[in-house]
């Protein structure tokens, strides 16, 4: 999954900040991804729906980070309608639906991936099948800025 351009991140982040009644982002470019994810979480915490572009990018960024930290092809994580990745070492599938599938909504994924929701507390919001369909050992994912230093 290709990392979004700084211009796309900034546009989505500034739209999300505007929706939250905040000034445009003025922080360092190296923190754009984390700032976008934080702004989406802030929208959820305020009881609001985040801007669609911001939520989509946050989901993709966090799935990308998961795939980078838990490389492999034995588990497919789906967050419709935005993205899916394969991750976690183990037996690889080659055809059809993989044996280990996790699917959840964007809000649940973002909260899980950022550590604001524990896997055990989200089981009623996750559809998981297969012996390896438990990501608790891989969550939360590391913020982008921590990996870009």
Strand locations in the chain (E): 75-79, 83-87, 101-104, 126-129
> Helix or strand or coil: residue 25?
coil
DSSP letter string, 103-125:
EE-HHHHHHHHTTSS-GGG-GGG
pLDDT digits over 10-58, tens only? 999 999 999 999 999 999 999 999 999 999 999 999 999 999 999 999 9
**Beta-ladder partners of 101:** 76, 129
* Separation CA 131–CA 16 (nearest Å): 38
Domain boundaries, the chain: 6-147
pTM confidence score: 0.92
> Could you tell me which of 144, 130, 143, 40 has the C-alpha nearest to residue 77?
130
Domain 6-147 maps to which CATH number in 3.40.50.2000, 3.30.1050.40, 2.170.120.12, 1.20.120.350?
3.30.1050.40
- pLDDT tier for residue 104 given thresholds of 50, 70 and 90: very high
* Separation CA 52–CA 30 (nearest Å): 22
């Amino acid at each position: 999954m290709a990392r979004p351009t700084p211009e796309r991140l900034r546009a989505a982040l500034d739209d999300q900040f505007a929706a939250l009644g905040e000034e445009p982002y003025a922080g360092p470019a190296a923190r754009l991804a984390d700032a976008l994810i934080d702004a989406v979480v802030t929208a959820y915490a305020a009881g609001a729906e985040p801007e669609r572009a911001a939520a989509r990018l946050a989901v993709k960024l966090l799935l990308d980070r998961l795939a980078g930290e838990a490389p492999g092809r034995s588990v497919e994580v789906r967050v419709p309608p935005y993205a899916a990745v394969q991750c976690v070492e183990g037996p690889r599938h080659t055809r059809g639906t993989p044996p280990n599938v996790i699917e959840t909504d964007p809000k649940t994924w973002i909260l899980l991936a950022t550590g604001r929701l524990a896997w055990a507390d989200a089981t009623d919001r996750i559809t998981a099948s297969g012996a390896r369909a438990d990501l608790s050992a891989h969550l939360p994912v590391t913020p982008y800025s921590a990996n870009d230093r």
